[in-house]
Chain A
Amino acid sequence: MIRNVLPSWKYRLAGCLLLLAGVSTVNAQGSMTAAAAKVNDKMVKLFGIGGLKGLASYGSGILVSENGHILTVNNHILVNTTGLKVHLYDGRQYQAKVLFREPELDIALLKIDEEVNALPHFEFDKEAARPMAENGDWILAFSNQFQIALRDEPMSVQRGVIMAVADLRGRRGVFDAPYNGDVYFLDVIACNPGAAGGVVTNRKGELLGILGRELKSTSTDTWVNYAVPIQAAVDVQRDDKTAKVSMAMFVKDAMKGTYKQSTKIVRKDLGGYHGIVLVVNAVSSTPPYVEEVATGSPAEKTGLRPDDLILYVEGYSVPTIKIFRETLKQYGPGEEIRVQLQRGSKLESVKLKLGNQPKVPVPN
């Protein structure tokens, strides 16, 4: 679902002018050094829990107040709310604690556990007030990936292009994404261990997004590199009510100490409902034979019968029950999928319109 944003005429004109301005800046400085230094001073290296199962014990974050409020990704290194270590750009070292988390935005706000002031920082609400970046825009990515830097050593800087602005979940079930919404997909390999919580900026060092986690597609074994735009806003659940929260609101309220914690919305990515009950998955290579079809289900409506052997879903071969189930997870309610099957000695092709998962789950 890649959305190709066609900028308005006005923006395109502005874009051209900006590019011209950009060229002269680049030419004058010859490199991204100035922007890199400007961003680097506002970033922190984080050290916390981890080190097991390939999970890094380090991460990246940004300062959002002169008193040491830090915005980062709500990941495993923050499992303990205290005992986090922070290295500032100038080599100063502090402890920090977690003040608030917002699981739906996959972010957390920390605070340096000591009186500090006059720290260089991002004015988050001002940064978030700018319009989002677009496909094809140049970016710089900053993080402490691979824990390359310690103390006053600067963060790693990379350059790239926004390939797409699109829903992170894309095909359902492929990425176990902690955040659901539009992200910047990057052509640069930026989401390495410890990069989460780093930032993506434009060439002037203005904040665009927060670098995401390491995410690998279960179907293609490829890794995705993304950043959550700082303009991101999501629905959260609070006391059974739904509320809209933007990243800027979270940062503002969390710094004031008035942020109302939400509860994580539990999503089960079962995909759409089809109503096919398969034979017992006895061995790892059990083929997807239909055992029965639930009454009133989409499968019954399209005329699927017991003993049908499902061969293809949307052209993808499904030789085993496991692969059939994984494939089906990628299609949501309302989507119509083409299923090819063997019935007796004949090949049949049917269209299956997926429904909502029933309230009381039936075996799938």
Chain B
Amino acid sequence: MRIALYSLLAALFVASIASAQHPMVLKQEADRVAVIARVKPSVVAVFARGGQGGGTGVLINDEGYALTNFHVVQPTGPTMQCGLADGILYDGVLVGWDKVGDVALIKLLPKKDGAKFPFSAMGNSDLVREGDWSIAMGNPFLLATDFTPTVTFGLVSGVHRYQPPAGGGFLEYTDCIQIDTSINPGNSGGPLFNLKGEVIGINGRGSFDKRGRINSGVGYAISINQIKNFMGHLQAGLDSDHASLGALVRTEAEGFGIGKTRITAILDEADAARRGLDLEDELSSFAGRAITSDNHYKNVVGIFPRGWRVPLEYRRGDTKKEILVRLMGQQRKEVNDPMQPPPKVDPKQPPPIKGKGGPQGPAAKYYEPKAGFANYYFNKQEKARVLAGLKKNGDFGALGGAWTIDGGVRLLKSNNDSSFTIDIKDVKADGNETPTVLVKIGAFPDTLEIFPKDNIAAKDRRRPNGSGGLMPALYVWKHLMTKGEANLSECLHAGMEPFYPPRLDNAAPRTWSDQRVDADVLTTQQGLYRVKWFFARSDQKLLGMELRMQEYNEDPCEVYFSDYRAVDGRQLPHRMQVYYKDVHYGTFTVTSYKLAGN
């Protein structure tokens, strides 16, 4: 009996030691502590200048760029003060914002030029599952007077959550992460980490209801993958807008069983309508994600910026079709509603920024207000970066004379290759320049005066016929290559967008997502011609362009440049694939460039 008791006690002793100090438990704890110590220096306590109000942020690169909430920087104004866990207070300036998504990018100014900041890597929030552990860090109740962040730990309660807009159409949380990790006022804008210490979201909101504005066990973080979609826009200082399809959908509530999402209304102006989407079509997937409820639909549309092209799949009867759709904005500025005059934007009026007295302190010199921008200063920076990169591929500044391009082309309805000659020149007559483009395919020459004195209609400038406007496109291309942004009425950086070069054989891709590359985008206006330019993110090589002659509501002429080869040390495309209205007009294969000097 006694032996039995002793052995039981011994077993208990061993078991309790094991439970208290099991190496796996200790290891997990040590790992967690190590991760927190590693990411802590990247957490930013954001304060309005003077210390009133604020929130949290997280540094995402060593240059001092940090993410936070729009609703954190709205009251601080364009300059703010940012404390790091090392106890040092830095000056910060607003870079860009996404009001609908409640995200803002700010930049901390280093104390010494070129000094590097600690930062945390961004993870992949699509890999987050409900039941995963998460760590929130931040400045709840503005406790961090020494800027040391508060750490809370909890469970991911749900992913791909939808929370409707909370303020005048803004602050809509689509595809967000729901957590029971405690977040409170002041945590706003702070990071949600996974156990690897990667940022998977930006904490910003909770369900509060009756219990007051404190943690109620239900907090929401904006998924980092949505923010990645907007990162190019944020870095370019844009006041970016979220996408809409330009159509209303409804998941059938009647009839029981799994829901089908159908188009119940569609705007004629919507690109989706021009791509063939129609009433009663069943939306089966959007950007590669299946749609089974209204919330799903809002989730998958809501994570994209306005103007992006994404693949969409729909069913009509027994047929399934994938189309590549350009998304409209949410703020509907491109819709010409005859009942409502479009809201007038006064270009002289700076964007409304609250906060005391606008920009202040040493960061003020990095702030430049302009309508449509959170901070125009950073747009100019980004534009300059792209144009400088473009020049590295070839400086054409001294080659402003006539350009003659020769080669072969196979047109859409032809079975044979034809030779082509393209002449792009500024003809001098009476001392005035008369820019013209000649395209000769086979034995058929066509000449277009690019800026005619009698203002001929846009449709008559879409030449050669069927190309959607290749001739003006070639002119503005040469202008950008030789003169840059000189003489353009507008030249802006428009953020980052996906770009889908066609296959070299022009066959339909298996799925459009296979073709996707991300591109830096510039937009320019020159006379009637509005152009969207797509540049490779790595080396700013020009990948393609879209030329329109009205702002919206029309299909552009699409030119895709590839097969870059050096001509006298300068990179030039030796293949140009031209598309208009989803139709391949022709592929031009260049055999020679003759570029005349100024």
B15 and A16 contacting across the interface, CB-CB below 8 Å = yes
Complex contacts, A95 vs chain B, CB 8 Å? 256
Instruction: Please indicate which of the listed interface residues B18, B131, B158, B180 has the most CB atoms of chain A within 10 Å of its own CB.
Output: B131
Count, A-B residue pairs, CB within 8 A:
135
Interface 1/0s, chain A 161-205, versus B by CB < 8 A? Answer: 000000000000000000000000000111011000000000000
Residues 244 to 266 of chain B near chain A (Cβ within 8 Å):
251, 253, 256-259
A31 and B132 contacting across the interface, CB-CB below 8 Å = yes
Residue B413 at the A interface, CB < 8 A?
Answer: no
B216 and A151 contacting across the interface, CB-CB below 8 Å = no
Query: How far is A189 from B207 in the complex, measured between Cα atoms in Å?
Result: 12
Residue A107 at the B interface, CB < 8 A?
Answer: no
B15 and A13 contacting across the interface, CB-CB below 8 Å = yes
Interface 1/0s, chain B 267-294, versus A by CB < 8 A? Answer: 0000000000000000000000000111
CB distance from B18 to the nearest CB of A (A): 6
Residue A64 at the B interface, CB < 8 A?
Answer: no
A148: which of B19, B131, B178, B294 is its contact (CB, 8 Å)?
B178
Interface 1/0s, chain B 130-147, versus A by CB < 8 A? Answer: 111100000000000000
Interface 1/0s, chain A 18-32, versus B by CB < 8 A? Answer: 011001100100111
Query: How far is A338 from B18 in the complex, measured between Cα atoms in Å?
Result: 49
A148 and B161 contacting across the interface, CB-CB below 8 Å = yes
Q: Which stretch from B20-28, B229-237, B495-503 is at the chain A interface?
A: B20-28
How many A residues touch the partner, as a band?
Answer: 35 or more
A214 and B210 contacting across the interface, CB-CB below 8 Å = yes
CB distance from A192 to the nearest CB of B (A): 6
A91 and B293 contacting across the interface, CB-CB below 8 Å = yes
Interface 1/0s, chain A 51-78, versus B by CB < 8 A? Answer: 0001000000000000000000000000
Complex contacts, A223 vs chain B, CB 8 Å? 211
Complex contacts, A158 vs chain B, CB 8 Å? 154-155, 157, 180, 217
Residues 187 to 232 of chain A near chain B (Cβ within 8 Å):
188-190, 192-193, 214, 216, 223
CB distance from A132 to the nearest CB of B (A): 21
B293 and A13 contacting across the interface, CB-CB below 8 Å = no
Residue B12 at the A interface, CB < 8 A?
Answer: yes
Query: How far is A152 from B296 in the complex, measured between Cα atoms in Å?
Result: 10
B157 and A157 contacting across the interface, CB-CB below 8 Å = yes
Q: Which stretch from A33-41, A295-303, A305-313 is at the chain B interface?
A: A33-41
Residue B215 at the A interface, CB < 8 A?
Answer: yes
Instruction: With A17-B15, A189-B216, A190-B217 as known contacts, state yes or no: A156 contacts B210, CB within 8 Å.
Output: no
**Prevailing SS type, chain B contact patch:** mixed
B129 and A93 contacting across the interface, CB-CB below 8 Å = no
Query: How far is A157 from B158 in the complex, measured between Cα atoms in Å?
Result: 7
Query: How far is A150 from B12 in the complex, measured between Cα atoms in Å?
Result: 48
Residue B511 at the A interface, CB < 8 A?
Answer: no
Query: How far is A153 from B298 in the complex, measured between Cα atoms in Å?
Result: 13
CB distance from B416 to the nearest CB of A (A): 54
Residue A114 at the B interface, CB < 8 A?
Answer: yes
Residue B488 at the A interface, CB < 8 A?
Answer: no
Complex contacts, B257 vs chain A, CB 8 Å? 92-93
B207 and A12 contacting across the interface, CB-CB below 8 Å = no
Complex contacts, B251 vs chain A, CB 8 Å? 151
A157: which of B19, B24, B155, B292 is its contact (CB, 8 Å)?
B155
Query: How far is A132 from B324 in the complex, measured between Cα atoms in Å?
Result: 56
Question: What is the interface of chain B, defined by CB distance below 8 A to chain A?
Answer: 8, 11-12, 15-16, 18-19, 22, 24-25, 28, 129-133, 154-158, 160-161, 163, 178, 180, 195, 207, 209-211, 215-218, 251, 253, 256-259, 292-296
Question: What is the interface of chain A, defined by CB distance below 8 A to chain B?
Answer: 9, 12-13, 16-17, 19-20, 23-24, 27, 30-37, 54, 90-95, 114, 140, 145-146, 148-160, 188-190, 192-193, 214, 216, 223
23 of the cross-chain contacts (CB-CB < 8 Å) are: A13-B15, A16-B15, A16-B16, A16-B18, A30-B133, A31-B156, A32-B155, A33-B129, A33-B130, A34-B131, A91-B292, A92-B256, A93-B257, A93-B259, A145-B218, A151-B251, A151-B292, A157-B158, A159-B155, A188-B217, A189-B217, A193-B209, A223-B211
Given A13-B12, A32-B131, A216-B210, 14 more A-B residue pairs with CB atoms under 8 Å apart are: A33-B131, A34-B131, A90-B258, A91-B292, A95-B256, A114-B256, A145-B218, A153-B158, A153-B160, A153-B293, A157-B157, A157-B180, A158-B155, A190-B217
